[in-house]
Chains A and B, each alone.
Chain A
C-alpha cells in the first residue's frame, strides 16, 4: 500500500513537468495552428541552460537564489529564443499550407540537437540538487524526495496562473479568441503577428521551465527533446487540443501510467501510453476536455490549382527518366545502385503517404506503421517459412494492407490533428509489438537474413527489380489519383458536406484510400527489407514517419510529383550528409529551414507557380 502511494506521488511530480511542456504546446497550437515540433527542443534547451546557470550562479548568488534564479532565468532565456524563432522564421510562412510550419520546426529540432552537443558536449550532465531540498521526507514511513513535493505543487500552481492569465487579462482573452478565429481577431484591429510572438514566447517559457525543473531529478542529455515531444503530443491530444485544464488532466494520467505501467504490465509497458491515447480518441474524438472544432475556415487564396494528368511532353520526359535510370547499371557501381534503390523505395513510400494526406486530406504521423508492416510481413515469411522473395514481396504489402484496413477504420472517423495522432498511436503500438514480442519478431535484434532470391541477388538486378516495381506502383498511384475514385477522394478532402450531398460515402471512400496508401507503403517496406537483408523495429519508428512527412512537404503537398522530388532530394541529402559530416543534423536541419523559407510551397509547388508560367501559357504543362 505504502509503496503504491509513493509511486503515485512520484507520478504526480513527473506530471508537473509534463504539464508545463504540454500546456505550452497546446496554447501555441490553439492560436497559431502550428504543430510545434521544436517544443521538445525548448524543453531540452531549458534543462541545458538551467544546468549552466545554476552551476555558475550558486557560488556568487548563494545556493538558494542561484538555484531558483537559475531555473527561472533559463526559462526566460529560452523564451527569448522562442520569440526569435517566431519572428525570424515562422512569421515568414504563415501563409503557407497548414503543415509547412511543422516542417520548419522539425528542421529547427534537428539543428538544436547538434547545437547542444556542440555547446555542452555529448556526455550526460548531472545538475545540482535544490538547496535545502536534497533530502527525503517520510511519507507513510517511506522516504520520498522533498524536491518532488515542490514539483507536485508546481503543476497546480502553474495551472492556476495560466487560468488567471487567460481569463483575467485582455491578452488572455485575445489568445482565447484567436484560438477560435484568428482572422476575425485581426479584423477587429488586433495585431496577429504580435499575438503569435507572445504566444510562442509563453509556450517556450513553459517548456523550458518544465525542462529546467527536471535537472535535479534526471541527467541532461541531447536526446531529451524527442523523448518529451512525443509524450507532450500525446498529452495534448488526450486532454483536447487547446485546453489547458485538459493538458493538466492528461499529464497526470500519462505520468501515472508511466509510474505504474512498468510495474503492472511490464510486457506491454511501451505500448500502454499509445493504447490509452487510441482508446481515448476512439471514444472521445476531441480528447477528454476538448470541444468539437468548428470546421476550419478555408483560407482564401489557398485554393488548390486543379491537378491535371501528364501532358505529352511531360509524359515523354518521365519515360526518358525511367529509361535513363534503367540504363544506370551499365555505368554505376554497386554502392550507387543500392543508394538509388533506397531512394526509389522512399519515393514510393512518400507517394503512398501523399496519397493519404495530399490526395485524401488525412495527415498521418505514423505512416511508418505500414512501411514496417510490409518489411516485417516479408521478413516473418522468410524467418518461419523460408519463403522465396516473390512470396515475401506479396506478403509484405498484404500485411500492410490488412493493418491499414484495420487502423484506417478507426482513423477516418477523426479528422485533422486528432486523426494524425491516432495514426501515430497505431504506429507506436505496432512498433512496441515488434520491439517487445521477441519470440516472433526477434525484438531489438530484428530478423536477419532477409536476402533476395538468387536470381535477384546481384545489386544491379535488385536495383532493376526495385525500379520496375516502384515505377509500376507509382504509375498505379497516379492512375488512382486521376480515376473516378481519385476524384471522389479529393471531393471528400475538399468538402465533406458537398461530397456527402452528391452521394459520396465519405467514410468508405477515405477508408479505401487509407488502406490502399498503406498497401503501397507496404510494398516499399518489403523491398526495403530485401535491400537491407534485415528488419529491425526502427523501420516502424517515429523518425521514419517523420522522414515521410518531410519528403512530402519538401516536395510540395499540393502537387502530384512533389513527393517524388522531395524523396529524392531529402534522401540523397541525408545519405550524403551523414557520410560527409559529423554535424549532419545541423546541416540538414538548416537546409530544411532555408528551403521552407525560400520555397513555402515546396520545391515542385514553386516550380509550377514561378517557373512554369514563364515558360509557356500552356495549361497542360502541369504535374
Chain B
C-alpha cells in the first residue's frame, strides 16, 4: 500500500508552550487510523496542525506526495484534506443547506464526489431539516451536519476529532455506520478518540499519543494484545 498522508517530525507550539514533540505517522489510502490518547495528550493539536490551523509548526506533512506543512488552511483543504473539528463549529446562524454550501468545492478526480442529495441519503435526518437554522438542531444532528459539510469539499482524507464525543448511544451507532460508509467509499480516515470504543469496527491501525509524543503504533491485533500499553497510556 502507498502512503496517502505522511507526517514526519511534527512539532507544534501555542505561544511558548511546546505541545507536540516529533510526531511521526503515516496512513495508507483507504485506511482508517485511530489516534488515541487521554484528554490533553495532543490529539486535537495534531489534527489542527495537519489542517494548517496552528501557526507555529515544524516538520513535514505530505499529502499525495505534495508537502502541505506551512500552507494556509484553505489550500490544504483544496488539496483534499477534510477536517471535522472537535466542537463541531457549525455555522449556527446559517441553515443546514447554507452550511453545506460553505463546504462546497469542485469534484476531485479519483475521489467520490458528494452532492447535497447524496448526503441527505447518508444523513436522512438532515434532509427534513435543510431549511432549519443549524443552531436550533440537536447535538447529534449538528455532528452529522459537520461531517456532511466536510464531505461537500470532496476530500480524500478526513480528520475527525472525537466525533462521538458527548453523543447519545443511538447517535454513536449511527456515527459508526457513517464511518463504515465513508471507508467503503475508499476514503482515508484519521479518527481521534480518548479510548477505542465506537470506531473499533472500522479501524485498521492505532496510534497512541501521550503528552504530545507518539507512544505506540500498531495494527488492531497488536493493540488488542498490548494490555500494558493500554494501561499506561489510556487507562484513567
Contacts and interface: CB of A to CB of B under 8 A. Distances in A.
Interface string B53-66: 11110000000000
A183 B104 CA distance: 16
Contacts of B94: 173, 176-177, 180
Contact of B77 (A170, A179, A188): A188
Contact of A183 (B13, B56, B73, B153): B73
Contacts of A173: 94, 98, 101-102
A300 B54 contact: yes
Contacts of B56: 301
B89 A184 contact: yes
Interface residues of A, number: 26
B91 A180 contact: yes
B15 interface: yes
Contacts of B156: none
Interface stretch (A113-121, A189-197, A280-288, A520-528): A189-197
B101 A189 contact: no
Contacts of A177: 91, 94, 98-99, 102
A300 B153 CA distance: 24
A301 B150 CA distance: 25
Contacts of A188: 74, 77, 83, 102-103, 105, 149-150, 152-153
A303 B56 CA distance: 12
Q: How large is the interface on B (under 10, 10 to 19, 20 to 34, 35 or more residues)?
A: 35 or more
The interface centre, meaning the residue of A170, A177, A191 with most chain B CB atoms within 10 A of its CB, is A177
Contacts of B77: 186-189
Contact of B93 (A174, A180, A302, A304): A180
B16 A300 contact: no
Contacts of B139: none
Contacts of B103: 188-189
A183 B48 CA distance: 11
Given A185-B102, A189-B153, A300 B55 contact: yes
A181 interface: yes
Interface in B23-68: 48, 51-56
Contact of A301 (B55, B85, B98, B149): B55
A303 B16 contact: yes
Interface string B133-159: 000000000000000011011000000
A227 interface: no
A180 B152 CA distance: 19
A543 interface: no
A160 interface: no
A191 B74 contact: yes
A301 B54 contact: yes
B14 A301 contact: yes
Given A176-B91, A177-B94, A300-B54, A186 B73 contact: yes
A95 interface: yes
A304 B14 CA distance: 10
B17 interface: yes
Interface string A46-58: 0000000000000
Contact of B55 (A95, A176, A181): A95
A181 B16 contact: no
A495 interface: no
A620 to B, nearest CB: 15
A305 interface: yes
A180 B15 contact: no
Nearest to A291: B93
A177 B54 CA distance: 21
A185 to B, nearest CB: 6
A361 to B, nearest CB: 17
Contacts of B98: 173, 176-177
A83 to B, nearest CB: 19
B85 to A, nearest CB: 7
Interface string A295-319: 0000011111100000000000000
Nearest to A180: B91
Nearest to B104: A170
Contacts of A176: 91, 93-94, 98
A190 B14 contact: no
B200 interface: no
Contacts of A187: 51-53, 73-74, 77, 83, 85
Given A180-B92, A183-B73, A304 B53 contact: no
A174 B102 CA distance: 6
Contacts of B99: 177
A374 B208 CA distance: 61
B17 A192 contact: no
A301 B92 contact: no
B17 A303 contact: yes
Nearest to A185: B102
A245 B52 CA distance: 35
Contact of B74 (A186, A301, A303): A186
B74 A192 contact: yes
Contacts of A181: 89, 91
Given A300-B54, A303-B17, A190 B91 contact: no
Residue of B14, B105, B152 ringed by the most chain A CB atoms within 10 A: B14
Contact of A305 (B15, B54, B149, B153): B15
B72 interface: yes
Interface in B66-100: 72-74, 77-78, 83, 85, 89, 91-94, 98-99
B17 to A, nearest CB: 7
Given A184-B85, A188-B77, A189-B77, A301 B15 contact: yes
Nearest to B72: A186
Interface in A420-440: none
A190 B102 contact: yes
Interface string A460-490: 0000000000000000000000000000000
Interface in A83-105: 95
Contacts of B83: 187-188
Given A173-B94, A186-B73, A192-B74, A300 B14 contact: yes
Interface of A: 95, 170, 173-174, 176-177, 179-181, 183-192, 291, 300-305
Given A188-B102, A301-B14, 6 more contacts: A173-B94, A177-B99, A187-B53, A189-B153, A300-B55, A301-B13
15 contacts: A173-B98, A173-B101, A174-B102, A177-B91, A177-B98, A179-B93, A181-B91, A184-B91, A187-B51, A187-B53, A189-B77, A191-B74, A300-B14, A301-B15, A303-B17
Interface of B: 13-17, 48, 51-56, 72-74, 77-78, 83, 85, 89, 91-94, 98-99, 101-105, 149-150, 152-153
Report the 10 A-B pairs with minimum CB-CB distance, sorted nearest first.
A303-B15, A189-B77, A301-B55, A186-B73, A177-B91, A184-B89, A177-B102, A187-B83, A188-B103, A186-B74
